[in-house]
Structure 1
């Protein structure tokens, strides 16, 4: 009996240990994105090709050369980088940004995903947020993390990806779209009436990323 109990206890500890390792690994994957194909253009003019990894928290990109060596670059050294998973491609560029501190004049280059081009560009960053998982199993942003197990009444959390949208303006300013409808209508100014008609006619939603691209692109076409 004692031997069986000892085996059960060992199994429980082993299961908990593996669970903690799995959670830690998944948390890391949420914070770090990898692509099999990358094209990195440096401010020096050099171009590097190879698998690319983007570390969101540190705002660092790492690229693996054909010889297996890995080089890391901060936004200040990068003109742009484009990545692909074989189906979709994404382009990132560094912009001067106050890190969301509206009361600070200090700005430093930070990576943003470029969603469209024009006088006004819709750009995006992603941040990591913790969600309470007690309501049951759920998918995180983009399906990058899934927790299929329950842990009784214990409080469970999962790290998820949250999209944050910004507008890059002609004067090289990054404007946070915390409330896209309100913030963009302030920018539309004299074109506000025409923009409302366009948005209504095409049934566009300010809270939808693809619709936001169409909205900003149309504004560029009528505001030049």
Structure 2
């Protein structure tokens, strides 16, 4: 009897974990906004609720008549969305990208969220990943090292988190992965390094914070 109860508890716990994981995966792979605007490469503008399917890199907009239209990055100049509760507008743009395959010259359009636009633009994508439980910032693997939105579901040893993948869109039209933002940006700063370090220290900015990173890139652009 005791073993049966223990087994039921394990099964119930597993069910809760899988439900939490599925909910988080839904947050990352398919995201919906009640209000949005799509600017197409044709010049047309569409307004309505937008659904973004990250894995397929497809967006869908619900038209006033209830019909749904889908678009790939190649058809879109930009799309902007907002959550009515937060009233924060997010802008996404397509950029040619090799999907982090440094040994491939093949590039295809993919959507990135625009965080800071300028000579160097800071952009990002999100992924779902797992890591070992610990209570400090995650500085591991490919420079993707923190849970910016506080999502996380643990099973005692592993935690599922949403991670930001940061990139720079360079003046030459390339997407450069910031595998280690501090190291990569320090290399970029060149002779502006001392001034940038003073700016970062004076404003208590962190390389592992999306807003701070956007301020860092914007300030560097202002020095060009």
- Quote how far apart the aligned CAs of 1:186 are: 1.0
In the superposition, relative to structure 1, how do residues 156 and 68 fare at CA in structure 2: closer, same or farther (>3 Å)? farther
CA distance in 2, matches of 1:158, 1:55: 23
The answer to whether residue 94 in structure 2 is matched with residue 94 in structure 1 is yes
Matched with 2:36 is 38
Matched with 2:140 is none
- State TM-score, norm by structure 1: 0.80
Matched with 1:3 is none
Matched with 1:47 is 45
**C-alpha contact (below 8 Å) 1:56/1:127 kept by paired residues:** no
CA distance in 2, matches of 1:31, 1:184: 29
Which 4+ runs in 1 deviate beyond 6 A? 14-18, 155-158
* 2:104 counterpart SS class: coil
Matched with 1:70 is 68
In the superposition, relative to structure 1, how do residues 28 and 156 fare at CA in structure 2: closer, same or farther (>3 Å)? farther
CA distance in 2, matches of 1:109, 1:191: 32
- Quote how far apart the aligned CAs of 1:142 are: 2.7
Aligned residue runs from structure 1 range 49-198, under 5 A: 49-86=47-84, 87-131=87-131, 142=149, 159-198=160-199
In the superposition, relative to structure 1, how do residues 166 and 20 fare at CA in structure 2: closer, same or farther (>3 Å)? closer
Unaligned runs of 5+ in 2: 136-146
- State TM-score, norm by structure 2: 0.80
In the superposition, relative to structure 1, how do residues 210 and 71 fare at CA in structure 2: closer, same or farther (>3 Å)? same
**C-alpha contact (below 8 Å) 2:35/2:82 kept by paired residues:** yes
CA distance in 2, matches of 1:184, 1:176: 11
**C-alpha contact (below 8 Å) 2:17/2:153 kept by paired residues:** no
**C-alpha contact (below 8 Å) 1:126/1:163 kept by paired residues:** yes
CA distance in 1, matches of 2:77, 2:197: 35
CA distance in 2, matches of 1:162, 1:127: 5
In the superposition, relative to structure 1, how do residues 182 and 29 fare at CA in structure 2: closer, same or farther (>3 Å)? closer
**C-alpha contact (below 8 Å) 1:205/1:211 kept by paired residues:** yes
Superposition CA RMSD, Å: 2.9
State how many pairs are aligned: 207
Larger Rg: 1
Deviation sequence 1:24-50 (CA, Å, 0-9, x none):
751334421110001011111111111
* 2:93 counterpart SS class: strand
